[in-house]
């Protein structure tokens, strides 16, 4: 019996890792060069300069061979000491994971509760800071774009409440699923440590963890006493000053990063952000036309990089995703943590355009019909009407 073959290209529509464009793949496959030779200096300079533009910062940017999880840990261990209090906000699965790392590092992590359907509440953060008259809270940590729920938080508003309370806490922001997809301004919004990763808006495979670091955060690192060796910013910055890294970098990923940064800056960041906004709005219109439920209840906070859809009670989202994969060779994101089996997520970020989105939504609509899930037809038409209007 002949085995079924999936012809054509696989649709990877999870919220990351995202599709890697051919230009980046071709850059990555260049022959590896000596990472301590003179030819490597230009690569280092190009990458750090481009990252500064994408983070919208004049501050230092540190690149680790790691996942975003490593960049989370680096943000904490470079700036804090054992027992320091950290204020975090529960927007979803990834906010909870960052909180878990803080606890395991011996920090006094306090998590403001959320319902996984809304963004960060700046008022709640302001109230917690106002009560902290002894300034025991040393850092405020929030997720800009919660990948598990599709809720996008207002970073500038959080900065404003920190300033209003005149609290000296460091401000740390996870931009793993928003960097290079959603407008983020490290300097203008007064962020001290921004955490990023390579595998989403930057259009690379996983493997690079990023920290953009303010002068205030660098000053805090001089007194912080949490153990750090691999994650030490100063080792990185000292080596970067000469164009190198303190240990073996992910050389070929850096080739890909240089190409990805060139693509983003050639398109123009404002155009990149607008493209993501349009595709997100078209996706949401499709979900509404299907008469399905958007997980994020705050319409102004719905993500531009992914859309999370919640099925009615009793409908298995994972079985639906399995049908879409088997029938149409498309991967959709699963529900994470408490959302397991209840939610599927559509990634629409990175190297992505109108026709790719229409194919994605077509796969979802056919999957709904093939799975016998109650819905109204016409989601793809609603998206097309919006994109062509």
Q: Is residue 226 part of a domain?
A: yes
- The residue from 206, 240, 265 where one domain ends is 265
Looking at the fold, whether 273 and 259 belong to one and the same domain comes out as no
Q: Identify the three-state secondary structure at position 12.
A: strand
Looking at the fold, whether 333 and 211 belong to one and the same domain comes out as no
What is the average pLDDT across 129-144? 98
Q: Is residue 167 part of a domain?
A: yes
What is the average pLDDT across 43-47? 97
Looking at the fold, whether 143 and 89 belong to one and the same domain comes out as yes
Looking at the fold, whether 77 and 147 belong to one and the same domain comes out as yes
> What is the distance between the alpha carbons of residues 117 and 293, in angstroms, rounded to a whole number?
11
Q: What average pLDDT does the structure give for the chain?
A: 97
- The residue from 245, 265, 285 where one domain ends is 265
- The residue from 221, 246, 265 where one domain ends is 265
Looking at the fold, whether 276 and 363 belong to one and the same domain comes out as yes
| Residue range(s) defining the domain that contains residue 284 | 11-18+268-388
Q: Is residue 94 part of a domain?
A: yes
- Tens digit of each residue's pLDDT (9 = 90 or more) over 272-295: 999 999 999 999 999 999 999 999
pLDDT value at residue 3: 56
Looking at the structure of the chain, the number of domains it has is: 2
Q: Is residue 359 part of a domain?
A: yes
- Tens digit of each residue's pLDDT (9 = 90 or more) over 73-124: 999 999 999 999 999 999 999 999 999 999 999 999 999 999 999 999 999 9
pLDDT value at residue 5: 67
Q: Is residue 3 part of a domain?
A: no
Q: What is the pLDDT confidence band of residue 7, given thresholds at 50, 70 and 90? A: confident
What is the average pLDDT across 351-379? 98
How large a percentage of the chain has pLDDT more than 90?
Answer: 97
CB-neighbour burial class of residue 120 (10 A; exposed 0-12, middle 13-18, buried 19+) = buried
What is the average pLDDT across 309-318? 97
In this model, does residue 172 exceed pLDDT 70?
Answer: yes
Angle at 285 (CA atoms; ends 283, 290), nearest 5 degrees: 95
Q: Is residue 4 part of a domain?
A: no
pLDDT value at residue 1: 47
How large a percentage of the chain has pLDDT more than 70?
Answer: 99
Which segment of 6-15, 89-98, 151-160, 220-229 scores lowest on mean pLDDT? Answer: 6-15
Kindly report the CATH number assigned to the domain that includes residue 359: 3.90.1150.10
In this model, does residue 2 exceed pLDDT 60?
Answer: no
Looking at the fold, whether 163 and 298 belong to one and the same domain comes out as no
Looking at the fold, whether 165 and 236 belong to one and the same domain comes out as yes
In this model, does residue 6 exceed pLDDT 90?
Answer: no
In this model, does residue 72 exceed pLDDT 80?
Answer: yes
Looking at the fold, whether 236 and 301 belong to one and the same domain comes out as no
H-helix segments, the chain: 22-28, 40-55, 68-77, 93-104, 122-131, 155-164, 215-221, 233-240, 251-267, 269-289, 317-328, 354-370, 379-388
Looking at the fold, whether 221 and 337 belong to one and the same domain comes out as no
Looking at the fold, whether 224 and 359 belong to one and the same domain comes out as no
Would you mind telling me the total number of residues written for the chain in this entry? 389
Kindly report the CATH number assigned to the domain that includes residue 96: 3.40.640.10
Looking at the fold, whether 55 and 155 belong to one and the same domain comes out as yes
Residues 335-362 as b/e (b if ≥16 CB within 10 A, e otherwise) read bbeebebbbbbbbbbbbbeeeebbbbbb
Looking at the fold, whether 238 and 342 belong to one and the same domain comes out as no
Q: Is residue 169 part of a domain?
A: yes
In this model, does residue 316 exceed pLDDT 60?
Answer: yes
Q: Is residue 1 part of a domain?
A: no
């Amino acid at each position: 019996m002949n085995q079924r073959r999936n012809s054509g290209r696989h649709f990877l529509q999870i919220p990351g890792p995202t599709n890697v464009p051919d230009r980046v793949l071709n850059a990555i496959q260049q022959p590896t060069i000596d990472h301590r030779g003179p030819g490597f200096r230009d690569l280092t300079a190009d990458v750090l300069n481009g990252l500064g533009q994408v983070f919208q910062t004049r501050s230092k940017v540190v690149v680790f061979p790691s996942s975003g999880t490593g960049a989370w840990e680096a943000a904490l261990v470079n700036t804090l000491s054992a027992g320091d209090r950290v204020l975090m906000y529960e927007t979803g699965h990834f906010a909870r994971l960052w909180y878990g790392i803080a606890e395991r590092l011996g920090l006094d992590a306090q998590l403001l509760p959320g319902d996984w359907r809304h963004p960060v509440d700046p008022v709640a953060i302001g109230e917690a800071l106002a009560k902290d008259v002894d300034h025991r809270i040393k850092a405020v940590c929030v997720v800009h774009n919660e990948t598990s729920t599709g809720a996008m938080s207002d970073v500038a508003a959080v900065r404003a409440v920190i300033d209003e309370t005149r609290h000296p806490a460091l401000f740390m922001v996870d931009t793993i699923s928003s960097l290079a997809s959603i407008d983020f301004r490290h300097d203008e919004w007064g962020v001290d440590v921004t955490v990023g990763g390579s595998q989403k808006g930057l259009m690379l495979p996983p493997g690079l963890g990023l920290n953009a670091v303010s002068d205030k955060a660098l000053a805090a690192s001089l007194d912080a006493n949490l153990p750090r060796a691999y994650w030490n910013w100063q080792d990185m910055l000292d080596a970067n000053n000469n164009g190198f890294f303190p240990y073996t970098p992910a050389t070929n990923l850096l080739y890909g990063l240089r190409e990805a940064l060139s693509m983003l800056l050639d398109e123009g960041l404002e155009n990149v952000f607008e493209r993501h906004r349009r595709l997100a709005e078209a996706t949401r219109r499709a979900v509404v036309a299907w008469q399905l439920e958007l997980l994020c209840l705050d319409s102004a906070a719905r993500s531009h990089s992914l859309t999370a859809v919640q099925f009615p009670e009793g409908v298995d989202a994972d079985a639906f995703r399995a049908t879409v994969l088997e029938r149409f060779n498309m991967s959709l994101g699963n529900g994470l943590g408490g959302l397991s089996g209840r939610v599927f997520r559509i990634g629409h970020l990175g190297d992505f355009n109108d026709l790719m989105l229409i194919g994605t939504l077509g796969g979802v609509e056919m999957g709904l019909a093939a799975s016998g899930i109650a819905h109204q037809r016409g989601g793809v038409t609603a998206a097309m009407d919006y994109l062509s209007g």
